[in-house]
Amino acid sequence: DTGVSQNPRHKITKRGQNVTFRCDPISEHNRLYWYRQTLGQGPEFLTYFQNEAQLEKSRLLSDRFSAERPKGSFSTLEIQRTEQGDSAMYLCASSPWATSGGTDTQYFGPGTRLTVL
Amino acid sequence: DQQVKQNSPSLSVQEGRISILNCDYTNSMFDYFLWYKKYPAEGPTFLISISSIKDKNEDGRFTVFLNKSAKHLSLHIVPSQPGDSAVYFCAASASQGAQKLVFGQGTRLTINP
């Protein structure tokens, strides 16, 4: 297993266009997370899937953002009508099913760098 | 409201010496803490973690200390090597619910030869 992969690695788009990013988690990891990181800040949580169910969304995730995880495998994050403020690194992470009462480590992909002109 | 804080934006250490990175948190619900290392244009790489039931966890050159009463944790790297130069993020999560990570702002560590 090669870890979490994300595509594309870089995306440049014009304001108002739609973009879609893909994340392939580590095999058999039930949990999948999306985070966003802007310059000089730590990553911020956007949304979380347990298998195919989207169980939590951050207030950061406006109506223009939508995420899916069909069949509980890969996930996509779509941003509609992009704005310059959407420029950031979008990170995906996955973790296995947490053992009873425990917490499992999240492993991150390389990220997708979005630039909105 | 910054629930996880890394108050030192940067740290410079001589090769072979000890590097100490600090992190403070405010949310008492956090019970799992992690350190990630990040190079430019790459995703965070997991380094080491600690559960709130412990006060120390060691893995090779890396040791994490947790002081629950002070809501403080630190990462010790000894001896420091040039390849350790990167941005280090402290993160915390609560075992209930989504277990989403809350990150600090990061500390840029530079190891000087």
Instruction: Assess B36–A contact: CB distance below 8 Å, yes or no.
Output: yes
The fraction of chain B above a pLDDT of 70, given in percent, is 100
Q: Which residue of A has its CA nearest to B43?
A: A110
Spatial distance between the Cα atoms of B47 and A29, rounded to a whole number of angstroms: 19
Q: Which residue of B has its CA nearest to A53?
A: B98
Which of A33, A102, A80, A89 lies closest to B100 in space, CA to CA?
Answer: A33
Cβ of B100 and A33 within 8 Å? yes
The pLDDT tens digits for B41-84 are: 889 999 999 999 999 999 999 999 999 999 999 999 999 999 99
List the structure tokens of A91.
Answer: 């990170």
List the structure tokens of B72.
Answer: 């403080």
DSSP conformation letters of B42-104: S--EEEEEEETT-SEEEETTEEEEEETTTTEEEEEESS--GGG-EEEEEEEE-SSTT---EE-
pLDDT band at A1 (very low <50, low <70, confident <90, very high): low
Q: What is the pLDDT of residue A81?
A: 97
Q: Which of B42, B95, B104 sits opposite A103 (nearest CB)?
A: B95
Residues in A closer than 8 angstroms to B1, CB to CB, are none
In the predicted model, what is the mean pLDDT of residues B3-9? Answer: 95
In the predicted model, what is the mean pLDDT of residues B26-55? Answer: 94
Q: What is the pLDDT of residue B99?
A: 86
The pLDDT tens digits for A76-105 are: 999 999 999 999 999 999 998 765 555 778
Q: What is the DSSP letter of A61?
A: -
Cβ of B43 and A103 within 8 Å? no
Instruction: Assess B30–A contact: CB distance below 8 Å, yes or no.
Output: no
The pLDDT tens digits for A26-62 are: 998 999 999 999 988 999 999 999 999 999 999 888 8
Q: Which carries the bigger pLDDT value, residue B33 or residue A96?
A: B33
Spatial distance between the Cα atoms of A67 and A20, rounded to a whole number of angstroms: 9
Q: Which carries the bigger pLDDT value, residue A99 or residue A65?
A: A65
Spatial distance between the Cα atoms of A107 and A105, rounded to a whole number of angstroms: 6
Q: What is the DSSP letter of B15?
A: T
